[in-house]
C-alpha cells in the first residue's frame, strides 16, 4: 500500500518508514529536517521537504494519494510548548488539521497518529495508567496530543476516515538526538561514552516507562490493519527510575562516573507508566525488548557514532 510518513527523517518515524519499506509498501517521507536527518530516510522511500501543515504537504497528499497517513511530525519540546503555547498549537493542532483535511479530500483510508501516554494522562491517579485513565495534561504539548485524538474521532464519525492513535510512553533507541530536549537515555549514552559528566535531575527517583524504538515500530506495522477507532497505549507497564537507568548505562559503558545530582526540573512529572493490555488484545502487540537489551543496543549505536565523529 502507499503510506505517507510525516516526520519520517526523525528518530522514531525513520525506523517506522524503514519497516514499511522492508514490508513492501510504497513510502513517501515528509519532513522539514528541523530535527530529523536526511540520511535517516530509508533507501527505497521517496522524500519531500516541507512542514506537515504546509501547501507542500497538501500537494504531497493530493499527488501521492496515500492509503495510510502515519503522522509523527510534531513540535516535541514540552518546554517550548509551555513558553509559547500558540506556536505549539499551530504546529501540533492546526498543522495536523491541514493534513486531515487533505486526507479526507484525497482518499486516505486511515491515519496512524503518534500520540502520548505520559503527556496525555498528566499526573497519574493510578499506576500503570490504562486507556480509561482521565486525560489531564499539564502542558500545551499534552493538550495538543489529546486535542488531535478528539479531532481524529470527529473525522472518523463525519467522514469515515479511520484512525489508530498510539499513545507512546518514553521511547528510546538508535537515532535519538542527545541534544536539546532529548530523552535521558540518549543524553546519558553520549556523555558517558565521551567521558563527560552525566547529570541526574533532582533525586533521580522520578520514574518513566521506557519502550524500545524497535517495539514501537511493530506497533505501527500492526496498526496498518488493526486498532481502528482506538487510542492504544504503547509501553511496557514497568517503571524505571533515573538512578537505575544511569547505573545500568554506566556499567554497560565501562564508565566509572559517580552519580551527580543537580537541581530538580520545575514541574517534572514524578511517576509515569502505562498499561498495555489493549495493545495486546487489539493489535497483538507486546514489547519484546527488555530494558537491559534495549539499552545495550542503544549504547552500541552511540558508541559507533562517537567513534565515527572522531571524538572517541
Positions marked catalytic: 141
Contact partners, residue 66, CB within 8 Å, separation at least 6: 2, 3, 4, 28, 108
Q: Please answer whether residues 298 and 309 qualify as being in contact, where contact means their C-beta atoms are separated by less than 8 angstroms.
A: no
Q: Are strands 240-241 and 207-208 parallel, antiparallel or unpaired?
A: antiparallel
Q: Are strands 68-71 and 2-6 parallel, antiparallel or unpaired?
A: parallel
Residue with grid cell 509551555, as numbered in its chain: 82
Q: Please answer whether residues 155 and 161 qualify as being in contact, where contact means their C-beta atoms are separated by less than 8 angstroms.
A: yes
DSSP code for 168: E
- The CB-side HSE value for 196 (13 A sphere, CA atoms) comes to 11
Contact partners, residue 27, CB within 8 Å, separation at least 6: 2, 3, 4, 5, 8, 17, 20, 21, 42, 44, 45, 46
What are the phi and psi torsion angles at 168 (to 5°)?
-70, 145
Amino acid at each position: 500500500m502507499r503510506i505517507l510518513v510525516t516526520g519520517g527523517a526523525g528518530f522514531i518515524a525513520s525506523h517506522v518508514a524503514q519497516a514499511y519499506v522492508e514490508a513492501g509498501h510504497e513510502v513517501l517521507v515528509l519532513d522539514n529536517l528541523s530535527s530529523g536527518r536526511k540520511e535517516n530516510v530509508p533507501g527505497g522511500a521517496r522524500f519531500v521537504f516541507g512542514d506537515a501543515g504546509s501547501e507542500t504537504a497538501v500537494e504531497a497528499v493530493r499527488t501521492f494519494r496515500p492509503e495510510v497517513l502515519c503522522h509523527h511530525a510534531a513540535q516535541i519540546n514540552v518546554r517550548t510548548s509551555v513558553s509559547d503555547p500558540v506556536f505549539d498549537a499551530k504546529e501540533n493542532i492546526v498543522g495536523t488539521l491541514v493534513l486531515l483535511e487533505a486526507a479526507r479530500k484525497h482518499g486516505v483510508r486511515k491515519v496512524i497518529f503518534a500520540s502520548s501516554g505520559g503527556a496525555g494522562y498528566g499526573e497519574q491517579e493510578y499506576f500503570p495508567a490504562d486507556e480509561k485513565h482521565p486525560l489531564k495534561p499539564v502542558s500545551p504539548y499534552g493538550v495538543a496530543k489529546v486535542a488531535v485524538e478528539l479531532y481524529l474521532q470527529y473525522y472518523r464519525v463525519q467522514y469515515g476516515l479511520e484512525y489508530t492513535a498510539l499513545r507512546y510512553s518514553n521511547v528510546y533507541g538508535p537515532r535519538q538526538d542527545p541534544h536539546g530536549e532529548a530523552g535521558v537515555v540518549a543524553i546519558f549514552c553520549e556523555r558517558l561514552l565521551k567521558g563527560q559528566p552525566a547529570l541526574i535531575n533532582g533525586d533521580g527517583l522520578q520514574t518513566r516507562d521506557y519502550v524500545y524504538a524497535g517495539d514501537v515500530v511493530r506497533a505501527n506495522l500492526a496498526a496498518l490493519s488493526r486498532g481502528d477507532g482506538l487510542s492504544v497505549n504503547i509501553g511496557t507497564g514497568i517503571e524505571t527510575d533515573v538512578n537505575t537507568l544511569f547505573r545500568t548505562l554506566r556499567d554497560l559503558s565501562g564508565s566509572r562516573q559517580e552519580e551527580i545530582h543537580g537541581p530538580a526540573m520545575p514541574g517534572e512529572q514524578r511517576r509515569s507508566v502505562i498499561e498495555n493490555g489493549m495493545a495486546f488484545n487489539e493489535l497483538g502487540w507486546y514489547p519484546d525488548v527488555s530494558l537491559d537489551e534495549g539499552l545495550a543496543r542503544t549504547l552500541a549505536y552511540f558508541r559507533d557514532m562517537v567513534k565515527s565523529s572522531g571524538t572517541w
